[in-house]
Structure 1
Amino acid sequence: MSMQSINPATEAVLATFEEHSWDQVERALVEADAAFRQWREVSFAERGALMHRAGALLRERKARYAALITAEMGKPIVEAEAEVEKCAWNCEYYADNAARFLADEAVATNASESYVAFDPLGVVLAIMPWNFPFWQVFRFAAPALMAGNTCVLKHASNVPQCALAIEEVFRDAGFPRGCFRTLLISGSAAERVIAHPLVRAVTLTGSDATGERVAAAAGAVIKKTVLELGGSDPFIVLADADLDAAVATGVRARCQNTGQSCIAAKRFIVEAAVADAFEQKFAAAVAALRVGDPMERETQVGPLARDDLRAALRRQVEASLAMGARLLTGGRPRPGRGYFYEPTVLAGVTPEMPVFREETFGPVAAVIRARDVEEALRLANDSPYGLGAALWTRDTERAKRLARRIEAGSVFVNGMVASDPRLPFGGVKRSGYGRELSRYGILEFVNIKTVWVGPAVQPVPEPQKVTAAVE
């Protein structure tokens, strides 16, 4: 079997790779396990120096790696450069903070000494998507490696060159052989890797359907998983919001990365009092976006990554229009070569329509009217997903109260949902479980170990006896 790298803007085949045989996979896993036995003993200072070097290489090679990202999955080049830069930041963040995050924690008990230690698990398999082909990997790999684990990557089959380039970064930075390996394998082969006894844990960023399969495969062999899955993020605009700011941010939140982001704003829930004005301003701003060659710096929206993704988006839009949605702009594939789809705004959307009920992975915005704040919250939570949410209002104290009622892993008030190394990232419901980034992310792939050192210096307190009152 082979996998192809195809430029989605031109449909040209860039490269073809043979999938790794099972013997090659087995050797890579053995190598990663052997590397772990040594890597776990390396000091945080030494690990951090190598991770800083990885960050420096990313910056030195930013132009080359960004061009590779754009060629393989179609992201506008300016956004691709920003993605590489963010990866470098993440490397530096964990290089500087991992030792503090994983320092032993003393706990006063009846022991002479007792504490909590944070030990690495071993080989961690990462199954990663194509939409942020560098960032999704470095978001996981930097904390996992700094914790003392080793990593094996199964990347999306349409970005094999990015997968190999990431392995190159860690190799050239001086990480020991086997610390980070890329496997060129199919999704079906990944389940066999999950079951391998040398793999200790699995992390996935992908669809909820893929999450079901990965969780089932890992559960069958009792292995830790972190799942960052799909999203249908609400972007709530209340009547007192700054409409111009909400529109400007909303356009970016929906159409960044050509709308192919799990945390993109997808459902624009607007209070009825300002809905007409919002729809007019929003549709005009979306229609003005520049669609074209993603290698041109002026381009704001590129192609979708694959033709089947464009077909799925077209189905969702056409089915929603047939159910009564109103087309404000866009609404069809762009003619000619490349997997382009016009930036689209649908109004009059209701909860039974595909653009509300399903995740839309492309530049399509659904606008839903809410009578009041309570209905806006109900609509926001009326989704199987719970990844991120944005809330726009001038009353920030009310916003903080309302944020508690939104069923999502993150709520951004008067801003765009985004991942940040300093903050935990993940979702609830069918958006997955576990967290990436911040201290919470690095704790996902360690053994949180209790260490009790005797002899006991005082007896363990006995539970108090409760005597029933006698009348």
Structure 2
Amino acid sequence: MNITIDPHEFASKVADQRGAEPVIVPHVIGGAEYFDGPITLREDPTYPDRSVSGAHEASDELVQKAVATARSAQREWESVPAVERAAKVRVGIDYVFANALDWSTRLAVETGKSIAAIEAEVDEVRGFLDVYSSFASEPDHFVDELNGSDEFMTSETILRPYGVFGVITPFNYPIALAAGLSIGAVLAGNGLVIKTSHQGPWSGQAVYELFAAMDLPVGLVNIVHGGDAPAKALVSAEIDGIGFTGSASVGHSIIRQLSSGPFVKPVIAEMGGKNPVIVTETADIDAASKGIIYSAYDLAGQKCSSGSRILTTPDAYDALVQGVGERVKALRFGDTVEGREVFAGPLTSQEAVDRYERTLAMAQEAGFTVISGSRPEGKGYFAAPVVIAGVPEDHDLARNEHFLPLITISKVETFQDALKAANDVSLGLTAGIFTGKLAEANEFLDRIEAGCINVNGRGHATTGFLPGKQTFGGWKASGSTGKQGYGKWYLQQFAREQTRKFPAGYAGLS
């Protein structure tokens, strides 16, 4: 059963919230609320003159206190059998259903995303709880008897938690991406400190509230708020591992820092993408155009999985530019409360709008073909969806991640050239192809350097990865571990292996 929102009830709740005072969320450590530090307010990106939420900036001392508190509670939690941990966490599924409208309101006023995108985010949390708790309930998920056992001695390998994980969350999925990492860490037996995005603190607080409903040891899960400073403090604290979702540059800096001490600490990171879509002359151009539009402009392009660079062979180029151009002109961006006809909402900040305008000016100055959809009226952080065609595949516009509602279309001579260009970037999160040739599809599957790949995706070129249906994660600079979210090996990253040998039946021990 998926999460669905009644649009009328949703619109009413959002209107009420927009007319209310900002919700200032506390840090929570050991079950106690702290309102320490200067306040940063979060504006509604649809109506930037209205503050809707806010949080205090956590000090270094408060972050250290959160880590120490989690460590104390973790000792008790580690002794709880995995199947019992899973049962406690699974209680959260009912909590998600009961609080779906509240969560949706938070996401609407802090992110401005569409109803469909909000439903998907809330439902993703339900999926994490379901999938991960099911894995953790399997008797051999964390313990495995080894072949070395005999009538005298028993050998087993067991996965034991590292201790305390810090989770640093992004603005675009402030509930789901914090929840996925956090659920994995807790199910594996770890304590937890969550640092929310300053552009979605009230949404991030929902993840703490979710854990508070699970009857976990007091202090096992803690939450702090703020900008870069608390995040840096958390990475520098006496932490045992970090879960991170965000840019490759920040993720790699965290990896370097946690590798520079007396021993390497794990960093479970998903770090963006510059995701190619190959379209060949044998493709169904209408299907390709439809799939590209969804993948590129959902969430106004502010997704690490967005398809953002299109590589097409010459005989498909003109028809594809026309097909994508017509569809982008028909997209409707706007206020989420206007209903399901709104495809996407605003950008997250004025900085993103400024970056959009600089990027668009670069394309226009270079003389590329620019096809633009419409921008809603008003003072919101809106940007029109844009297609930039005729871009050389090695141009910066086609190679750099922009996190904006725009795509580039590049003409390449052959399928082989397209495949080479697709792989010739450091990121490798998602990729797609539209083709009518089995040989091209098979070669794409064998050679593309990305963690999540689609062949002739129905309705989406590079995205659409939901818990229980597909796993999600990146290769190369897009991921740090090679293990993907929603998959059966994901939880095991939050623990380390210990092999044990002892007398069979504990013979001789009393």
Contact 2:445-2:453 at 8 Å conserved across structures = yes
Contact 1:51-1:92 at 8 Å conserved across structures = no
Q: 1:263 aligns with which of 291, 305, 309?
A: 305
Is 1:60 equivalent to 2:74 in the alignment?
no
Contact 1:76-1:299 at 8 Å conserved across structures = yes
Quick one: which amino acid aligns to residue 171 of structure 1? A
Distance 1:432 1:321 in 2: 33
Is 1:37 equivalent to 2:83 in the alignment?
no
Q: Secondary structure at the match of 1:440?
A: coil
Distance 2:499 2:205 in 1: 39
Distance 1:451 1:421 in 2: 34
Greater CA drift, 142-151 or 373-382: 142-151
Greater CA drift, 222-231 or 179-188: 179-188
Q: How much identity, in percent, do the aligned residues show?
A: 27
Q: Superposition pairs for residues 418-429 of structure 1, below 5 Å?
A: 418-422=464-468, 423-429=470-476
Distance 1:239 1:116 in 2: 52
Quick one: which amino acid aligns to residue 253 of structure 2? R
Contact 2:67-2:192 at 8 Å conserved across structures = no
Q: 2:143 aligns with which of 97, 104, 108?
A: 104
Q: Give the corresponding residue for 1:307.
A: 350
Is 1:165 equivalent to 2:211 in the alignment?
no
Q: Secondary structure at the match of 1:108?
A: coil
Q: Give the corresponding residue for 2:39.
A: 2
Quick one: which amino acid aligns to residue 40 of structure 2? M
Q: Secondary structure at the match of 2:42?
A: strand
Q: Give the corresponding residue for 1:143.
A: 184
Q: Superposition pairs for residues 115-264 of structure 1, below 5 Å?
A: 115-197=156-238, 199-221=239-261, 222-264=264-306
Q: Give the corresponding residue for 1:405.
A: 447
How much does 1:447 deviate?
0.7
Distance 2:212 2:312 in 1: 49
Contact 1:67-1:77 at 8 Å conserved across structures = no
Distance 1:132 1:284 in 2: 29
Distance 1:402 1:436 in 2: 20
Q: 1:350 aligns with which of 361, 374, 392?
A: 392
Distance 1:357 1:249 in 2: 20
Q: 1:90 aligns with which of 128, 132, 153?
A: 128
How much does 1:454 deviate?
6.4
Structure 1: tracts of 5 or more residues without a match: 456-471
Q: Give the corresponding residue for 1:450.
A: 499
Quick one: which amino acid aligns to residue 46 of structure 2? A
Contact 2:474-2:484 at 8 Å conserved across structures = no
Greater CA drift, 136-145 or 64-73: 136-145
* TM-score of the two chains, using structure 1 as the length reference: 0.91
Contact 1:67-1:295 at 8 Å conserved across structures = no
How much does 1:335 deviate?
5.5
What does the per-residue CA deviation read over 1:129-151, in whole Å, with 9 as the maximum and x for residues that have no partner?
A: 01111111122122221111122
Is 1:71 equivalent to 2:109 in the alignment?
yes
Change (3 A) 1:86 1:99: same
Change (3 A) 1:33 1:166: same
Contact 2:124-2:467 at 8 Å conserved across structures = no
Count of residues in Structure 1 that have an aligned counterpart in Structure 2 = 453
How much does 1:179 deviate?
2.4
Distance 2:395 2:377 in 1: 26
| CA root-mean-square deviation | 2.0
Q: Give the corresponding residue for 2:53.
A: 15
Distance 1:316 1:5 in 2: 25
Is 1:431 equivalent to 2:478 in the alignment?
yes
How much does 1:91 deviate?
0.3
How much does 1:2 deviate?
2.5
Q: Give the corresponding residue for 2:7.
A: none
What does the per-residue CA deviation read over 1:266-286, in whole Å, with 9 as the maximum and x for residues that have no partner?
A: 001122111111111111111
Greater CA drift, 118-127 or 10-19: 10-19
Contact 2:169-2:244 at 8 Å conserved across structures = yes
Greater CA drift, 162-171 or 18-27: 18-27
Distance 1:130 1:70 in 2: 12
Q: Secondary structure at the match of 1:450?
A: strand
How much does 1:430 deviate?
2.3
How much does 1:352 deviate?
4.2
How much does 1:354 deviate?
3.2
What does the per-residue CA deviation read over 1:338-365, in whole Å, with 9 as the maximum and x for residues that have no partner?
A: 1000011110011343321210212101
Quick one: which amino acid aligns to residue 474 of structure 2? G
How much does 1:216 deviate?
2.4
Quick one: which amino acid aligns to residue 153 of structure 1? I
Distance 1:375 1:397 in 2: 15
Q: 2:371 aligns with which of 310, 328, 343?
A: 328
Distance 1:16 1:190 in 2: 17
Distance 2:95 2:305 in 1: 28
Contact 1:57-1:173 at 8 Å conserved across structures = no
How much does 1:431 deviate?
1.6
Quick one: which amino acid aligns to residue 62 of structure 1? A
Distance 2:133 2:474 in 1: 26
Distance 1:266 1:343 in 2: 12
Contact 1:436-1:442 at 8 Å conserved across structures = no
How much does 1:401 deviate?
2.8
Distance 1:98 1:15 in 2: 35
Distance 2:199 2:142 in 1: 39
Distance 2:501 2:365 in 1: 66
Is 1:381 equivalent to 2:423 in the alignment?
yes
Structure 2: tracts of 5 or more residues without a match: 1-37, 505-510
Change (3 A) 1:31 1:396: farther
What does the per-residue CA deviation read over 1:350-389, in whole Å, with 9 as the maximum and x for residues that have no partner?
A: 1343321210212101111122110110121122211110
Q: Give the corresponding residue for 1:459.
A: none
How much does 1:7 deviate?
0.5
Contact 2:55-2:226 at 8 Å conserved across structures = no
Change (3 A) 1:258 1:345: same
Contact 1:139-1:436 at 8 Å conserved across structures = no
Quick one: which amino acid aligns to residue 181 of structure 1? N
How much does 1:301 deviate?
1.8
